[in-house]
Amino acid sequence: MTDLPSDRPSEQPTGPEHMTPDEFREAGRAAIDWLADFLADHRDGGHARPIVPDVAPGDVYRSLPSSPPAVGEPFTELLTDVDRLIVPATTQWQHPGFYGFFPADSSPPSILGELISAGLGVQGMMWSTSPACTELETLVLDWLVEACGLPDRFRSDGPGGGVIQDSASSASLCAVLAARDRSGGAAQLPRLRIYTSAQAHSSIEKDILVAGFAREQLRVVPTDVGFAMDADALAAMVAADEAEGLVPCLIAATVGTTSSGAVDPVARICDVAGPVGAWVHVDAAWAGSATVCPEYRHLLDGLDRVDSYCFNPHKWLLTNFDCSAFFVADSGPLLDSLSIVPEYLRNAASDAGEVIDYRDWQVPLGRRFRSLKLWFVLRSYGTDGLRAHIRAHVAATTDLADRVASNPSLEMAAPLSLGLVCFRHVDGDEASERLLATVNASGRAFLTHTRLDDRYALRVAVGGTWTTAEHVTELADLLDALVLDGP
């Protein structure tokens, strides 16, 4: 039992002072003005800031007060410090010369969707905790099925449907959990095997460890000359495991690998998975956005037979991180794995089975109103605008690949894939590393690297919101100049 405090204040505490509506309006206008200037600079070529900040580890931490203020500060001072201390130490992912990793697109309507989502402050764990949060999400994911030409089995009007996850890693974790339990769960766990290619994203390995598998239960399937999963090798590995009494549980295919943009043969993978009842998950985190264009729908071959599919509008579809679209052909196994209903979350709509409760489609309970920003993007750009975005980048990347291929000092390290070019210097790893360092030191472009065929390769991922054909041509000119002068 706790004692009542003897030193109770004589007056009732009143809580903190909030901004008044007028103060909020003024601060909000200042914040939007600040963002409008920031975006205007990216649109004009990003001259105001370097892409990669010149900071050493610990600089930012040391530049800030070591304790929080006891008395609240005016908003103008916060904005001043963002300008003075935060932005100069921030990597400019939205800079038109940012070609590293994969793009993390943002856009004006998406930013405003995020803002309104924050303002509504909704906790959308169940339909009953905010009907619009759930139903708008269901709607925009059905819109994505139509806009991207995905199979109807991913629509919400059948046993399947879509959900927005924070990241592709979380989506594939859900697929692993559902597949594990569909194959017998904890009782069968030591016998279960998972297959993915040597080029799959590291999140698959992390997911299986989180799901309780041992590393040895992951079979790493070799790839062909184009870095796609070798379906014959997969078939042989599955057959060998079956012969030993093991259970093929899940095959994780990739459409657009991180290193080189390779596309696994999903239809052939389904031929292997079908007879043994293995779950097929397709990770199209980056490349999936391209299917908004009908001419790239070949990337979806075989998708009408898979159990789950994921792509990230937060990569290449103008929607701020985080927004990963995860689709299942049948939500039953997902719910069997992830639905736990404590008394305090029970409500009439859920009990009647009339509604979707997305908390059962993900690992955490709580969830943000993410569909709002995606809805804003889809409505503001329309499918025509989204197609124009992808097509402009693919065309510019194709030109860049031609320039690389015709440069005698450079060679392609992998086939061109949509908006991704991987290449190397013909003089070997050291020359390639030097070239990358020189490009990045120029301040005009930022590239990252990978290893392909155990050789260093530079990656150029074209897809930023403000990146145009002119910027990509500038990069091609820069590469030519550096290579001709010797990096």
Q: Does 286 bind ligand PLP (CB under 6 A)?
A: yes
Smallest separation, CB 299 to ligand PLP (Å):
13
Please confirm whether the linkage preceding 152 is cis (ω < 30° from 0).
no
Among 283, 307, 357, 360, binds ligand PLP (CB under 6 A): 283
Q: Does 259 bind ligand PLP (CB under 6 A)?
A: no
Smallest separation, CB 218 to ligand PLP (Å):
15
Q: What single-letter amino acid sits at 148?
A: C
Among 312, 331, 350, 450, binds ligand PLP (CB under 6 A): 312
End-to-end CA distance of the chain: 73
110 vs 324, beta carbon nearer ligand PLP: 324
Smallest separation, CB 287 to ligand PLP (Å):
8
Among 107, 110, 117, 167, binds ligand PLP (CB under 6 A): 167
Q: Is residue 328 within 8 Å of 303, Cβ to Cβ?
A: no
User: What does the alpha-carbon distance between residue 256 and residue 283 come to, in Å, rounded to a whole number?
Assistant: 8
Smallest separation, CB 186 to ligand PLP (Å):
26
Q: Does 175 bind ligand PLP (CB under 6 A)?
A: no
| 226's tokens | 């184009």
Smallest separation, CB 257 to ligand PLP (Å):
6
Smallest separation, CB 472 to ligand PLP (Å):
20
User: What does the alpha-carbon distance between residue 189 and residue 348 come to, in Å, rounded to a whole number?
Assistant: 36
User: What does the alpha-carbon distance between residue 344 and residue 374 come to, in Å, rounded to a whole number?
Assistant: 31
Smallest separation, CB 324 to ligand PLP (Å):
5
The set of residues, in sequence order, having a beta carbon less than 8 Å from that of 13 and lying 6+ positions away, is: none
Smallest separation, CB 258 to ligand PLP (Å):
4
Smallest separation, CB 268 to ligand PLP (Å):
19
Which positions from 54 through 83 interact with ligand PLP, judged by CB under 6 A? none
Q: How far is CA 414 from the centre of its chain?
A: 22
Stretch that binds ligand PLP, among 7-15, 78-86, 165-173, 338-346 (CB under 6 A): 165-173
Other residues' Cβ atoms within 10 Å of the Cβ of residue 242? 14
Which positions from 9 through 48 interact with ligand PLP, judged by CB under 6 A? none
Q: Does 199 bind ligand PLP (CB under 6 A)?
A: no
Q: Does 311 bind ligand PLP (CB under 6 A)?
A: no
The set of residues, in sequence order, having a beta carbon less than 8 Å from that of 382 and lying 6+ positions away, is: none
156 vs 312, beta carbon nearer ligand PLP: 312
Q: Is residue 253 within 8 Å of 283, Cβ to Cβ?
A: yes
Which positions from 318 through 337 interact with ligand PLP, judged by CB under 6 A? 324
161 vs 256, beta carbon nearer ligand PLP: 256
Q: Does 102 bind ligand PLP (CB under 6 A)?
A: yes
User: What does the alpha-carbon distance between residue 457 and residue 448 come to, in Å, rounded to a whole number?
Assistant: 9
172 vs 337, beta carbon nearer ligand PLP: 172
Smallest separation, CB 254 to ligand PLP (Å):
5
Q: Does 223 bind ligand PLP (CB under 6 A)?
A: no
Among 285, 299, 372, 461, binds ligand PLP (CB under 6 A): 285
- Site size with ligand PLP, rule: CB under 6 A: 15
Stretch that binds ligand PLP, among 150-158, 166-174, 268-276, 479-487 (CB under 6 A): 166-174
> Whose CA is closest to 149, among 308, 290, 285, 271?
290
Characterise 293 by phi-psi region: left (phi > 0), alpha (psi -120 to 50), beta (else): beta
- Bridge partners, 193 (sequence order): 248
3-class secondary structure, 98: strand
Q: Does 254 bind ligand PLP (CB under 6 A)?
A: yes
User: What does the alpha-carbon distance between residue 316 and residue 252 come to, in Å, rounded to a whole number?
Assistant: 22
Q: How far is CA 385 from the centre of its chain?
A: 20
| 186's tokens | 């904890």
Among 106, 134, 183, 203, binds ligand PLP (CB under 6 A): 203
The set of residues, in sequence order, having a beta carbon less than 8 Å from that of 270 and lying 6+ positions away, is: 280, 302, 305, 306
- Bridge partners, 455 (sequence order): 452
Q: What are phi and psi of 229, to 5 degrees?
A: -60, 135
> Whose CA is closest to 137, among 361, 352, 318, 354?
361
Among 199, 258, 465, 467, binds ligand PLP (CB under 6 A): 258
Q: Does 169 bind ligand PLP (CB under 6 A)?
A: yes
Smallest separation, CB 105 to ligand PLP (Å):
13
User: In the chain, helix, strand, coil percent, each to 5?
Assistant: 50, 15, 35
Residue number of the CB atom closest to ligand PLP: 167
Q: Is residue 312 within 8 Å of 174, Cβ to Cβ?
A: no
Q: Does 450 bind ligand PLP (CB under 6 A)?
A: no
Task: Please give the residue ranges that form the binding site for ligand PLP (CB under 6 A).
Answer: 102, 167-169, 201, 203, 254, 256-258, 283, 285-286, 312, 324
